[in-house]
Chains A and B, each alone.
Chain A
Amino acid sequence: MNDLAGARPRIALDPVALRHEFPIYQNNPGLVFLDSGASAQKPASVIDGIAEFYRRDYANVHRGVYQLSQRSTDAFEAARETTRAFLNASDANEIVFTRGATESINLVAQSWGPACLKPGDEIIVSDLEHHSNFVPWQMLCERVGAKLRLASVDASGGFDLAAFETQLGPRTKMVAVTHVSNVTGAILPVERIVELAHAKGAKVLVDGCQAVPRMPVDVRAIGCDFYAFSGHKAYGPSGIGVLWGRYELLAAMPPWQTGGGMITLVTPAHTEFQDPPHRFEAGTPDISGAVGLKLALDFIEEIGREAIQEHEQELTGYAIDRLSRIPDLDLVSAGQRRLSVLSFNLAGIHPHDVGTVLDQHGVAVRVGHHCAQPLMDRLGVAGTVRASLGVYNDRDDIDRLAAAVAACRRMFSR
């Protein structure tokens, strides 16, 4: 991989070779890890890089006049620049570091929301949303007297653009949608959603948690107003996340949390606040987390996001084919475009029981409601079994998943 650095590689990704870069595989021989949608494993470059940063360059940021603090600040701000480039944002000051996508979305809901919404205004979220892109908006609506509307997927499991268009109105102020569903893997037509929403004057926030680790993301091409993602789903450490927002929007938003590092002047009577992004980063940030995030984004870029998407797309197709051939297996549909996430149920067997049997076969999947209870209700199920892919997965993993599912059926049909 090192010889590819710098160039944009167009050779196919080799998952087995990549596994050597993930120590979790050396420490858990035979592991079939199919839960990257919940959190991805970490490459050695991230794990070692964080340790190395603590050993050589660590100090608090934006505080000290000494050289070490400057080096630490440079590393922290380099992470911001890397993130900017990764999202193709126009300005590094549009990148706010948070604890994760959950905090990014809460930031917008709690800062932008009350400042910009009036009673009777409307917010539209899709029924595919993770609770983190659902509950903050529901609470905001309760707080300001706004109305939360649900944009549904159609019978095929794809986002229903026509129905969405009829829901948009002059009172719609925010549309919050996921880029890739964490339950079905459906890729949402975010560019078109933005066009339609903007035509009505609504802002759009996109939850990019599942998209960022596996496909090219260009916030300017999407045209959205806010984009949120978590580091830990993108091969980075947990505890760091990103909110990208259009600068003029961020600049008009009031502070959310207050404290050190985000002020320009504090007197007993009055406080003046910094400009974005520092205005939204009160307190000592997750410095090593940002450094780890940069290393994770570098890792992704070295492989190439097109190569990752191609690999995971191919593997998704293979998995659909394998799973569809298992009798009594109901694959949750995802419309025309699906990437890397597959949810299914086995007739008569509860997802939790499936998960326990799969675990016994060394196959790690997520079972349950995937923090998407509104979607579970619509599907009429208590939960699903979810397999999700990463760069280290290959066809052999899918074959072992299919074999474990078959063993599960045998166990419960005796």
Chain B
Amino acid sequence: MMDLRELYQDIILDHGRHPRNFRPIEHPTHTAKGHNPLCGDRVTVYLTLDGDRIADVSFEGRGCAISTASSSLMTEVLKGKTLAEARELFAQFHAKVTGGEVHDLPEALAEDGERLEPLAGVKAYPARVKCATLPWHAFEAALKGGGAAEPVKTE
């Protein structure tokens, strides 16, 4: 087994304790709730789209260090991105944390991809992969559903 510090890197603990963009958006254009029935964790993702661009993104909820850090880092990298870029980031992130085939990102997104790298440690902990992907699934559901939809469940 890998060293636990590979999983709980300083940046994960920092974002877990002091999540960024941890606030509601009063009038979001899109929002969705994510729910992990295994642990009862819940996350709500809020989005303000300006055309095809993510003008603002935030989240609320309670979760473990992994899911909170993942939510926090997600909001950081998504702000200002187009929806197409966001989908590319999610696809690569998903591949990284599930141990799938990781494709290179376009150069403009490479740095953002790197910022999500600390979460790649969860692939050694199958029971924890869902914690990392929960906010991304909620983000995806927000885009699909728009307003108040049924909570999305992890996988």
Which residues of A are interface residues toward B (Cβ below 8 A)? Answer: 348-353, 356-357, 360, 367-369, 373, 376, 382-383, 411-412, 414
Contact = CB atoms under 8 A, between A and B. Distances in A.
Interface residues of B, number: 21
B4 A350 contact: no
Nearest to A355: B127
A383 B40 contact: yes
Contact of A353 (B5, B8, B10, B40): B8
B128 to A, nearest CB: 6
Contact of A360 (B1, B17, B39, B64): B1
B35 to A, nearest CB: 11
A177 to B, nearest CB: 23
Contact of B66 (A352, A368, A373): A352
Contacts of B65: 349-350, 353, 412
B8 to A, nearest CB: 6
Most buried by A among B1, B41, B64, B66: B64
Given A356-B7, A382-B39, 5 more contacts: A360-B1, A376-B40, A411-B8, A412-B65, A414-B10
A373 B38 CA distance: 11
Contact of A368 (B4, B7, B13, B38): B38
Nearest to B39: A368
A349 B66 CA distance: 11
A353 B41 CA distance: 12
B62 interface: yes
B131 interface: yes
Contacts of A356: 4, 7, 125, 127-128
B135 interface: no
Interface in B1-26: 1, 4-5, 7-8, 10, 13, 17
B113 interface: no
A357 B38 CA distance: 18
Nearest to B131: A352
6 contacts: A351-B64, A352-B66, A368-B39, A369-B40, A376-B40, A382-B41
A360 B4 CA distance: 8
A321 B65 CA distance: 28
Contacts of A352: 39, 41, 64, 66, 128, 131
B63 interface: yes
A353 B5 CA distance: 12
A411 to B, nearest CB: 6
B13 A412 contact: yes
A411 B7 CA distance: 11
Contacts of B1: 360
A373 B8 contact: no
Interface of B: 1, 4-5, 7-8, 10, 13, 17, 38-41, 62-66, 125, 127-128, 131
Contact of B63 (A350, A357, A368): A350
B11 to A, nearest CB: 13
The 4 nearest A-B residue pairs measured at CB: A350-B64, A352-B64, A369-B40, A368-B39
A412 B40 contact: no
Contacts of B5: 411
A412 B8 contact: yes
Contacts of A411: 4-5, 8
A383 B39 contact: yes
A368 B8 CA distance: 19
A373 B4 contact: no
A78 B4 CA distance: 50
A353 B39 contact: no
A277 to B, nearest CB: 34
Contacts of B41: 352, 382
A108 B27 CA distance: 48
A140 B139 CA distance: 36
Contacts of B64: 350-353
Contacts of A367: 39
Nearest to A370: B40
A348 B18 CA distance: 12
A382 B63 CA distance: 8
A369 B37 CA distance: 9
Nearest to B5: A411
Nearest to A354: B64
B33 to A, nearest CB: 14
A409 B97 CA distance: 25
B125 A373 contact: no
A382 B1 CA distance: 28
A351 B26 CA distance: 31
Contacts of A414: 10, 13
Given A356-B4, A360-B4, A412-B13, A369 B66 contact: no
A353 to B, nearest CB: 5
A356 B65 CA distance: 11
A360 B1 CA distance: 8
A190 to B, nearest CB: 28
